[in-house]
Amino acid sequence: MTRWIGTSFKMNKTLSEARAYAAGLSSALQERPELLHGVQPFIIPPHTALAAVAAELTAQSAPGEPDVPGRGSVVRLGAQNAHWEDDGAWTGEISVPQVADAGAELVEIGHSERREHFGETIETTRLKVASVLRHGLVPLLCIGEPAQVQERGETAAYILEQARGALRGLPADQLSRVLIAYEPIWAIGAQGRPATAAELREPFEVLSREYAGKVQALLYGGSVSPENALEMLLIPGVQGLFVGRAAWTLQGYLEILRIASTAEKPHVSGLG
Ligand code: PGA
């Protein structure tokens, strides 16, 4: 099993900071290839740094790799958002072909911060997933419920509605490229509180029942840190981690990669 272990920088890092992170990551992975054991790393810088990070990752990749910035690196590069139209009068927006041109292979869609502050809806996540797939990139669909929904015990219905709405009507071959990150809103960011393994069991049971073996992987995100990464990875159904703050330093990210690359396989639970 390959575990997807990645980070979004959110609205952080200048060009030179993002470049230094990517260069440091590439050399660390060359020096310590064991960190890649069963692990697919990915990083999602701000749009401004995509091309620079792509160039940095490619510069360090093996000779003979495809000549497309960002492609051919062991580290997959992602964008934090993209518009569903390919081009046009959409001031301030960036399209999937544009982020692909800058080297992105993944596109994050529907993070709770975008749903809360920028009007992302189930319908816009559906349009974005379709565009990302149409252009041959990988959608990383984020879903997750607010605290009140969890308190009412309605998490399963809420996250299934988000996932089903965004992935509606996709043929099996397209669905198989999708990554889903379950990120309960109450567990995200400095105001969040880390979820316990017990709280994550049911959501991953529900998501595994619906999507295990059909999508590329199910990830967990929300206050992941070196302290809890192993516990999260061993929850049945969890096939990767999507990390914010704890991986904004290269040292933090490398430590989480180390934990993932040495973690035992979770017990077979019949959930896939
Ligand atoms: P956090 O962010 O790890 O800083 O809580 C997670 C996320 O928003 O994906």
Q: Is residue 28 included in any domain, yes or no?
A: yes
| pLDDT score of 267 more than 80 | no
Q: What is the pLDDT of residue 264?
A: 82
Query: Closest ligand 1 atom to the C-alpha of 246?
Result: 3
Mean pLDDT for 144-163 is 98
The CATH number for 25's domain is 3.20.20.70
The tally of domains found in the chain comes to 1
Q: What is the pLDDT of residue 230?
A: 97
Ligand 1, pocket-test mutation among 200, 243, 255, 256, most atoms within 8 A of CB: 243
Domain with 222 in it: 3-262
CB proximity list for 75: less than 8 A, separation 6 or greater: 22, 25, 26, 29, 41, 42, 43, 57
Q: Is residue 176 included in any domain, yes or no?
A: yes
The phi and psi torsions of 82 (rounded to 5 degrees) equal -160, 150
Mean pLDDT for 81-107 is 98
Query: Closest ligand 1 atom to the C-alpha of 243?
Result: 3
Q: Is residue 267 included in any domain, yes or no?
A: no
Which alpha helices (DSSP H) does the chain contain, by range? 15-31, 50-59, 96-101, 112-117, 122-134, 147-151, 155-167, 172-175, 197-211, 229-233, 250-262
Q: What is the pLDDT of residue 64?
A: 53
For atom 3 of ligand 1, which residue has the closest CA? 244
The closest of 41, 33, 35 to 74, measured between CA atoms, is 41
Residues with CB under 6 A from ligand 1: 8, 183, 188-189, 192, 221-224, 242-246
Q: Is residue 117 included in any domain, yes or no?
A: yes
Burial class (CB in 10 A: 0-12, 13-18, 19+), 118: exposed
Q: Is residue 84 included in any domain, yes or no?
A: yes
Q: Is 120 a catalytic residue?
A: no
Mean pLDDT for 161-166 is 98
Q: What is the pLDDT of residue 269?
A: 52
Residue pLDDT, tens place only, 51-81: 999 999 988 655 555 455 555 689 999 999 9
Mean pLDDT for 203-230 is 98
Mean pLDDT for 81-88 is 98
Q: What is the pLDDT of residue 4?
A: 98
> Considering 56, 113, 183, 255, which one is annotated as catalytic?
183
Determine the distance separating the centroid of ligand 1 and the alpha carbon of 62, expressed in angstroms.
31
Q: Is residue 258 included in any domain, yes or no?
A: yes
Q: Is residue 272 included in any domain, yes or no?
A: no
Query: Closest ligand 1 atom to the C-alpha of 181?
Result: 9
For atom 2 of ligand 1, which residue has the closest CA? 244
CB proximity list for 26: less than 8 A, separation 6 or greater: 56, 57, 59, 60, 61, 73, 75
The closest of 232, 239, 180 to 201, measured between CA atoms, is 232
Determine the distance separating the centroid of ligand 1 and the alpha carbon of 73, expressed in angstroms.
24
Q: Is 227 a catalytic residue?
A: no
Ligand 1, pocket-test mutation among 182, 245, 253, most atoms within 8 A of CB: 245
pTM of full prediction above 0.85: yes
For atom 1 of ligand 1, which residue has the closest CA? 244
Question: Both tokens of residue 206?
Answer: 């529900």
Q: Is residue 270 included in any domain, yes or no?
A: no
The closest of 11, 130, 7, 125 to 75, measured between CA atoms, is 7
pLDDT range class, residue 270, cuts 50, 70, 90: very low
CA distances from 191 to 56, 124, 181, 222 (A): 33, 27, 19, 11
Question: Both tokens of residue 209?
Answer: 């029942």
